Structure 1
Amino acid sequence: MYNPTQIIDEDLLYPSEDGKPMAANTEHFNWIVLLKENLDALFADREDVLVVGDVFWYPVRSQLIAPTAPDVMVAFGRPKGKRKSYRQWREENIAPQVVFEILSPSNDPDEMSRKFEFYQQYGVEEYYTYNLETHDFDVWLRRRHRLVPVRRTNGWFSPRLGIRFELSHGVLEVFYPNGEKFLTTIEMIQRQKAAEQFAEQERQIAEQERQIAEQERQIAEQERQIAEREKLRADSSEQQLQQLMAALRDRGINPEELLN
């Protein structure tokens, strides 16, 4: 029998997917991964920073408001962990502060206009778009209740993230606060392998130095023992000579005369 007060599974009311692909092409996907993985690395020590990619954001608990799925978004003040979707009422009503959109031919102007209005209405503080075809890089910052475009974006520092964006020969590059460049997953693996190889070389050099130091210690110990034995022999010879001279004197013989 139907119960009108029956609780409907929230996952059915707020689905986590719409059947559309995550990315329009390989370059689009690679950029999403580049931002997501490097931002994860940047905030690896911060348990209160959540970085997600291609996840539906539901700003309010209403089926009348359609969600949107930023390519990458960062929510400060939210714990790391798995999310089927970002349901803001489950996240202490904290809106993601930073959003990235990587533009591809599949993003039509109407869609991007709707997304902009969504981000403006629901509290995004920093909004970034990068067009893979034209290499246009655009930034909007929140000023009071509106997202305002930034005129000069080359060399731009993110107030929230502390990262830097540079257009090098027309192609966007992103840098950590310490100046290191955002790396692809393959580049990260290669760097890790290189670091491991360097560490192994350093370990081998340290082991060789330890062995050389041990050999030098053993040689020094052998030389000390030889010197000690020679000293003992010298002391023994001197003692024997003194005893002989004493015996001669006991017999009335002057040992100095014999030596002369």
Structure 2
Amino acid sequence: MTISLDCERLYPDSDGQPMADNTLQFRWIVLIKENLELLFADRPDVFVAGDLLWYPVEGHPEIRVAPDALVAFGRPKGERGSYKQWEEDNIAPQVVFEILSPGNRSGEMSKKQQFYDDYGVEEYYIYNPDRNNLQGFCRTESGLRGIEEIQNWTSPRLGIRFVVTATTLELYRPDGRRFLSFLQLEQRAEQADQRAQQADQRAEQERERAQQADRRAEQADRRAERLAAQLRALGIDPDS
């Protein structure tokens, strides 16, 4: 118990900073993190987290950062208070995202970029929703380097595609589906349920119409049989 408490004091799970400075930044953080979790829901070896402290070096708790979203391939899903790299087979998160707010400073972001470069991040994406500006960095032999053409860029690790429109950023899964908020997903699910119910209603109406047509055909057959019987009683052959 003492060891655990000492570890918690040495590597705290919180840096005392808020997850986001405003609702727009928070919405984007949640959108990216939740959609990445959906994307890799069937991959038990892909860990996705948001605003989680990452400690890359054991014994140096001062070396840490909390990406707005991170993806670590080769690590199991599960709850964590922080990402201590030496407890994660020394695997660094391969992809990180940062969502800017008006409170972010260029010096702060430069330090983060250097941190990600120093500690092995393969892909680093920065989005400023207020300015609708996207930047990306991808690892080369000489470290993280800026992606010159980010429009329609496809992440080598994630397989997602980035599209910057005139007003916003759109992210697309490998199957072409766009990243949606929980509200949008719920609305689409409700619309799909409504369409399914309408389809069931139409199918039921078609069955009822078919049954009515069958009943009318049976009634017509019985009337024809009665008429034929009456004609035969009068000595008339209805088939002649």
What TM-score bracket applies, with the shorter chain setting the length?
Answer: 0.7 to 0.9
Partners of 2:45 and 2:224 in 1: how far apart? Answer: 67
Q: Which residue number corresponds to residue 258 of structure 1?
A: none
2:162 counterpart (140, 162, 165) = 165
Structure 1-normalised TM-score? Answer: 0.79
Shift of 1:25: 0.9
Q: Which residue number corresponds to residue 238 of structure 2?
A: none
Q: 1:12 to 1:210 in 2, by over 3 A?
A: farther
1:12 counterpart (9, 12, 19) = 9
Partners of 2:224 and 2:91 in 1: how far apart? Answer: 79
Do the aligned residues in 2 keep the contact of 1:51 with 1:75 (CA within 8 Å)? Answer: yes
Deviations 1:178-215 (A, max 9, x none): 33332222222221211111111111111212222233
Matches within 5 A, 1:61-210: 61-144=58-141, 146-169=143-166, 171-210=168-207
Shift of 1:227: 5.8
Do the aligned residues in 1 keep the contact of 2:71 with 2:94 (CA within 8 Å)? Answer: yes
Partners of 1:8 and 1:184 in 2: how far apart? Answer: 37
Deviations 1:87-132 (A, max 9, x none): 2223222221110011122222232222112211222111001123
Amino acid at match of 2:183: I
Q: 1:222 to 1:13 in 2, by over 3 A?
A: farther
Q: 1:19 to 1:205 in 2, by over 3 A?
A: same
Q: Secondary structure of 1:178's partner?
A: coil
Do the aligned residues in 2 keep the contact of 1:120 with 1:145 (CA within 8 Å)? Answer: no
Q: Which residue number corresponds to residue 23 of structure 1?
A: 20
Partners of 2:223 and 2:57 in 1: how far apart? Answer: 88
Partners of 1:230 and 1:92 in 2: how far apart? Answer: 90
Shift of 1:228: 6.4
Do the aligned residues in 2 keep the contact of 1:71 with 1:100 (CA within 8 Å)? Answer: yes
Between the aligned residues of both structures, percent identity stands at 50
Deviations 1:3-24 (A, max 9, x none): xxx6343333221112211101
Q: 1:64 to 1:21 in 2, by over 3 A?
A: closer
Structure 2-normalised TM-score? Answer: 0.85
Q: RMSD of aligned C-alpha atoms?
A: 2.6
Partners of 2:155 and 2:216 in 1: how far apart? Answer: 61
Q: 1:13 to 1:229 in 2, by over 3 A?
A: farther
Partners of 1:126 and 1:207 in 2: how far apart? Answer: 53
Gaps of 5+ in 2: 236-240
Q: Which residue number corresponds to residue 35 of structure 1?
A: 32
